[in-house]
């Protein structure tokens, strides 16, 4: 999931191709929702069964590499950037139809100061 749909969705968001990003995010959200194990967990591999309208999760659930790419995607979407020489920039990237994005206790470091 991380290597394929994670990288692809990151690229769509960063290139402001929000129609593509919206479609891919919808697939990601459906694939990672797993109420039988954890509310949200990233599988290593998922496949969509059109007949039953369900996702089949395979491989290592919660694999760090796969999980990391989805988390990076969400960080890009929230748009809090503290990596530019002591300046905080906020640039959220939201798909069409979204009206807000929120982050709670998001760590930010500017210079020698760190805040949440």
Domain ranges of the chain: 2-115
Rounded to whole angstroms, the Cα distance separating 62 from 111 reads 33
- Between CA 114 and CA 66 the distance in angstroms is 28
In this predicted structure, what is the pLDDT of residue 115?
66
> Could you give the CA distance from residue 26 to residue 98 in angstroms, rounded to a whole number?
12
Reported as a single tens digit per residue, the pLDDT across 52-105 is 887 787 777 777 888 889 889 988 998 888 877 678 888 888 888 888 888 888
């Amino acid at each position: 999931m991380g290597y394929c749909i994670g990288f692809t969705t990151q690229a769509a968001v960063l290139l402001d191709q929000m129609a593509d990003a919206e479609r891919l995010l919808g697939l990601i959200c459906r694939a990672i929702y797993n109420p039988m194990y954890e509310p949200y967990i990233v599988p290593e591999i998922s496949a969509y069964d059109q007949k039953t309208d369900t996702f089949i999760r395979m491989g290592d659930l919660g694999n760090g590499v796969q999980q990391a790419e989805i988390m990076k995607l969400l960080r890009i979407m929230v748009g809090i950037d503290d990596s530019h020489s002591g300046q905080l920039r906020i640039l959220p990237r939201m798909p069409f139809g979204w009206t807000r994005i929120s982050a709670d206790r998001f760590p930010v470091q500017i210079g020698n100061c760190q805040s949440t």
